[in-house]
Amino acid sequence: MNATLQSADSCAFAADGYTQLDVFVQRTEQDHAPTIRLHADGACVAERVMDADLYRQRFQIDLDPQERYTLEIVDATVPYLYLTGGENLLDRGIRVLDAATGDPMAGDGAPEITDPTRAAVHFEPPEHWMNDPNGLCRFQGRYHLYYQFNPYGWGWDNMHWGHAASRDLVHWTYLPIILEPQRELHTRRGIAGGAFSGSAITIDAEGRPCPGDDAAAIRFYLTRHFEVPGRPDTVEECQTTCVSTDSLTAGPETVVVRREGADFGRDFRDAKIETGFGDAIMILATNLPSDQVPASGETGVSDANEGGWFTLSPHGKPDIDRPDPNRIPTIVTFRNDTPNLADDAWTYVGPMVADRGYAEGRTYECPDAFPLDGADVAIGAIMHIRTKDGCFQPIRWYTGRLDEQGRLDVGRSGWCDFGDCFYAVQSFRDDDGRRVAIGWLADHSGVRREAPGRANGAMSLPRELHVRNGKLFSRPVDEVYDLLIGGELPMDAAGDGWRVPGNTYYADLRPTGDCTAVLADTGEVRWTLECHDGEVRCFSQGAASDDLACVTHVDEVKRIEVFYDHGIIEVFVNDGEAAGAMLAYDERKNGGFSVSGDTSCEVCSLRR
């Protein structure tokens, strides 16, 4: 547990080939000077004192890779620390240490995870809070996942960018934090923000976009955010860029895009870069006055509405909270026509798509846009909306064609995921031409429970996207099937279900009529899937999510796939025609699955 060390507490560790110690320190008393000291062979070899105007600070201390050390912490807490640097770090990864003992607790050298609530095949950070995936890319033979991260605790706070890398999209190596909040945010409590969400593009030595395996560097684009919580008029957001040549450290940031005018929403964030349309474009989430977006029925507008209501709360009731009737959620576009993406060459194009069908939504978040399978696609999460079935802040997709003004002529639209937790999805085009997407599994219903060594956040399985007949499909990438699905499990002796050692499984159902499956039954909470007449419905009993249902409709249900991972549920219908992700609290070491009705079923283990 990276927990509360105060006064003259200490822990011992061996550098074991690492060359740097990263320590995240938090002040305990305003009139004390938080201090950390590093001792070796009985002598103090390094001392760091927190700046007087800060209440949090990251310290990076060089190490002798062959030495053994004792870390002394005075008048401070250390919520997070790890060993980094040294040879082959991208393959080895960092070693997260227990601040109370110095023992490895995550990453390199850590013992096998025994907490039955930790995911086995879904990415989670070593511990603490995580939200949106950021900067997804392939670079020099590896996939990179950056993510919104709070190294100081369980809940959301001033945002850093965490980092992990993978050779295969399913086995991830923890790497050092790459971006930190603005310094001023840690000068006093009561202000918030940091390195908010953004994206990445791989570039050659001249700064021109190129395939990741041929690239010399990664260029990041992100939002810098500042606000006084509870005072919307204080929100300030701008888009910055920086470059990394090693994927581990980033150079200085430059502001490249600010709000185009006072009429732009103060929500103006989550920069997503795309080069598939020709010139590089930057997609941003905002809201605009109704008279500044196209009218209903015109190009650049979606009028479709599948039901739902405005609410500030994941479990809010209809007609309680009041939306702003004069503003419309809008995805806007900036363009850069220079070969090397010159910082001063971003120009405003206009709205790409505005959703008048869900005009009551506060804004979009985490927008995306790309060409795929002969269609142009836009994606955005609509804040403060519950669907007609009660799911909060769903993600909307739109397909059509972009016109010469960069507006999407929307042909079809729908929900990216019919579950209750899939959010902030980001996609990238890998070097094989696949459009791969990962979403954050947001715990809107508060099912996760804080405990030492646990993470408050998980990512979805990586999904490959396609457009078929104007509809967006998503199913797990081939690597999930090739590398994570294990051997077939036998039915239990009674022949009415499967026992699941390790509490992770993959179920493949082929319905020929109605059927019902119990996805999880912890004794406290049950999640059930029902298939009837083209409808797949998932719902909980005994949980905070009981007031919603996760529902999708297709012409005919031919196949249902279920991935279950210690309380994380992902369901895929008809090879990606519909997808739904849900969360349950499940602390069982072993689980089970049962199904009844008109269907065949094969159940397999999932392996790390």
The reported pLDDT for the residue numbered 495 is 78
Q: Quick one: average pLDDT of 14-27?
A: 98
**Average pLDDT value for residue range 235-248:** 98
CATH of span 9-107 = 2.60.120
- Res. 594 pLDDT band, cuts 50 70 90: very high
Is residue 608 very low, low, confident or very high in pLDDT (cuts 50, 70, 90)? confident
Please report how many Cα atoms fall inside a 13 Å half-sphere around the Cα of residue 166, on the Cβ side.
Answer: 16
pLDDT band at 496 (very low <50, low <70, confident <90, very high): confident
- Mean local confidence (pLDDT), 111-116: 92
Could you give the percent of the chain with pLDDT greater than 70?
A: 99
Domain with CATH 2.115.10.20 in the chain: 133-474
Residue given tokens 């110690």 in the structure block:
21
Burial class (CB in 10 A: 0-12, 13-18, 19+), 216: middle
Sign of torsion, CA 170 605 497 499? negative
pLDDT of residue 8: 60
Q: Is CATH 3.40.1440.10 the right assignment for the domain spanning 133-474?
A: no
Interval 76-95 mean pLDDT: 97
**Using an 8 Å Cβ cutoff, are 575 and 473 in contact?**
yes
Q: Where in the chain is the domain with CATH 2.60.120.560?
A: 481-606
- DSSP SS3 for 63: coil
Q: Mean pLDDT for the chain?
A: 96
pLDDT band per the 50, 70, 90 thresholds, residue 493:
confident
| Cβ atoms of residues 520 and 599 within 8 Å | no
- On the 0-12 / 13-18 / 19+ scale of CB atoms within 10 A, 530 is middle
Query: Distance between CA atoms of 567 and 564, rounded to whole angstroms?
Result: 7
Q: Residue 44 burial (CB < 10 Å; 0-12/13-18/19+)?
A: exposed
Give the C-alpha separation, 102 to 36, whole Å. Answer: 14
Domain 481-606, what fold? Jelly Rolls (2.60.120)
User: Is beta strand 280-289 parallel, antiparallel or unpaired with respect to 269-274?
Assistant: antiparallel
Q: How far apart are CA 443 and CA 155, in angstroms?
A: 11
| Mean pLDDT, residues 162-166 | 98
Q: Enumerate residues 6+ apart whose C-beta is below 8 A from 77.
A: 3, 4, 5, 6, 25, 26, 28
Contact 136, 270 (CB under 8 A): no
pLDDT of residue 1: 44
